[in-house]
C-alpha cells in the first residue's frame, strides 16, 4: 500500500473546524422548450431544483465525504436556504451547533439556471447571486465563543472567506492555535491574512493581489509565490493553476510544480477550490507533509472537475485514484 493510501486512511475521524461563509448553491434544471415571443430568450420546462452546500459549506461537505468529522462554525440566515443547509448537514450526522442563525442576515445564495435538450448535458446560462454580507458586529461575539470551544480538541482549522464579512483577520489570529495546522482560502482579502500554516489561492487571485499577469511565464509565477510567502509569513503556499496543475512554495525549499491529475479536459470547475483546501487541510491534520498534502489535493481536484455541479470527492474515489496511479507507475 502506498504512503498516500496510509495518509488517507488516517483521514477517518479527524476533527477539522471550518470557519467560513456558508453558501447555498442552487441548481435549477430545465429543458429547452422554445424561444419566447415576449423577448429573445429561451423558455425552459422546469425539471428539478437542487440546493447543495457551497463556499465554506462545500469544504465541510468534502471533509465529511473524505471520512473526517467536520465542525462547522458560521452563519446562515433565518430563511429557506439557510434551513436547507442546516438540514443537509444534520442528515449527514454533522454537528451543527456552531452554525448561528441570524434573523437580520440572508444566507448567501448562488442560483445557477441550466438548460439543455432532453438527452444532452445541461449548460449554465445565467447565475443569480443574493444574500450577505453581515451587518451586525454583535453576531461575531457568539461566533468567537463557538470557535474557541470547537478548536479545543480539533486536529485542523480551515478558514474559507468568500467576502461576506464574517471572516476577519483579527478574529482568525485571535482564536488560531499554533498546535494544529491552519489554512486559509480568501477570495478577495488574501493579503490580510498572515502567519497561517498555508494558503491555497488560485492563480487569478494571486494575479489580482499582486497586480500582475502570470500567464505561461515561469519566472513571474516564481516571483509571485515567493513574494506572497515572504509577505504573508505562511509556512507554505499552494497555488492552483487549473489545467496547469499546482505550484507548491515552502520556506527554504525549492518550488515544486505538480501536473494536473487525470485529463485537462475539464467538465466543471464549480467548487474545485473548496475540494482542494479540504483535502489539503485534512492531509496536514493527518500528519502529511506539505508536499504529500498537495499531491493528495491534486488528486482530489482532478476528480472533482470531472463532475458537474457542486459535488464532493468521496473517500473511495480518492483511494481509487491513488491505486490507479500506483499501477501506472509500477
Catalytic residue ranges: 274
And the C-alpha cell for 260? 494536473
Contact criterion met (CB below 8 Å) for 303 and 261: yes
* Rounded-to-integer distance, Cα 294 and Cα 258, Å: 8
DSSP designation for 138: T
Question: Is residue 158 within 8 Å of 167, Cβ to Cβ?
Answer: no
Q: Max alpha carbon distance in the chain (Å)?
A: 65
Give residue 19's Cα distance to chain centre.
12
Cβ contacts of residue 92 below 8 Å, gap of 6+?
61, 64
Instruction: Name the nearest CA neighbour of 51 among 93, 105, 88.
Output: 88
Instruction: List the beta bridge partners of residue 29.
Output: 48, 114
φ/ψ bin of 290: left (φ > 0), alpha (ψ from -120 to 50), beta (otherwise): alpha
Report d(CA 134, CA 56) in Å as an integer.
15
Residue 114 burial (CB count, 10 A) = 20
DSSP label of 287: T
Using left for φ > 0, alpha for ψ between -120 and 50, and beta otherwise, residue 216 falls in: alpha
Cβ atoms of 262 and 275 closer than 8 Å? no
Rounded to whole angstroms, the Cα distance separating 48 from 27 reads: 8
Amino acid at each position: 500500500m502506498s504512503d498516500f493510501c496510509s495518509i488517507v486512511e488516517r483521514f477517518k475521524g479527524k476533527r477539522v473546524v471550518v470557519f467560513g461563509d456558508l453558501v447555498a448553491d442552487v441548481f435549477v434544471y430545465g429543458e429547452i422548450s422554445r424561444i419566447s415571443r415576449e423577448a429573445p430568450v429561451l423558455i425552459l420546462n422546469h425539471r428539478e431544483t437542487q440546493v447543495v452546500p457551497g463556499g465554506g459549506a462545500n469544504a465541510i461537505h468534502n471533509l465529511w465525504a473524505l471520512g473526517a468529522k467536520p465542525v462547522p462554525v458560521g452563519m446562515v440566515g433565518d430563511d429557506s436556504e439557510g434551513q436547507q443547509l442546516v438540514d443537509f448537514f444534520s442528515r449527514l450526522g454533522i454537528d451543527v451547533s456552531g452554525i448561528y442563525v441570524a434573523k437580520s442576515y440572508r444566507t448567501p445564495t448562488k442560483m445557477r439556471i441550466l438548460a439543455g435538450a432532453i438527452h444532452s448535458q445541461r449548460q449554465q446560462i445565467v447565475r443569480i447571486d443574493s444574500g450577505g454580507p453581515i451587518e451586525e458586529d454583535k453576531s461575531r461575539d457568539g461566533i468567537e465563543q463557538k470557535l474557541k470551544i470547537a478548536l479545543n480538541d480539533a486536529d485542523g482549522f480551515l478558514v474559507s472567506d468568500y467576502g461576506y464579512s464574517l471572516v476577519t483577520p483579527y478574529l482568525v489570529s485571535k482564536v488560531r492555535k499554533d498546535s494544529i495546522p491552519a489554512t486559509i482560502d480568501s477570495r478577495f482579502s488574501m493579503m490580510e491574512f498572515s502567519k497561517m500554516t498555508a494558503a491555497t489561492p488560485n492563480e487569478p487571485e494571486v494575479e489580482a493581489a499582486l497586480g500582475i499577469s502570470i500567464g505561461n511565464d515561469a519566472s513571474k509565477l516564481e516571483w509571485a509565490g515567493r513574494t506572497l510567502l515572504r509577505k504573508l509569513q505562511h509556512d507554505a503556499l499552494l497555488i492552483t493553476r487549473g489545467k496547469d496543475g499546482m505550484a507548491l512554495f515552502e520556506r527554504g525549499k525549492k518550488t515544486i510544480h505538480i501536473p494536473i491529475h487525470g485529463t485537462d479536459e475539464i467538465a466543471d470547475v464549480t467548487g474545485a477550490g473548496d475540494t482542494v483546501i479540504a483535502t489539503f487541510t485534512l492531509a496536514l491534520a493527518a500528519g502529511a507533509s506539505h508536499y504529500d498534502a498537495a499531491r493528495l489535493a491534486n488528486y482530489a481536484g482532478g476528480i472533482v472537475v470531472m463532475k458537474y455541479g457542486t459535488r464532493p470527492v468521496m473517500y473511495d474515489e480518492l483511494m481509487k485514484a491513488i491505486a490507479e496511479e500506483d499501477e501506472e507507475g509500477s
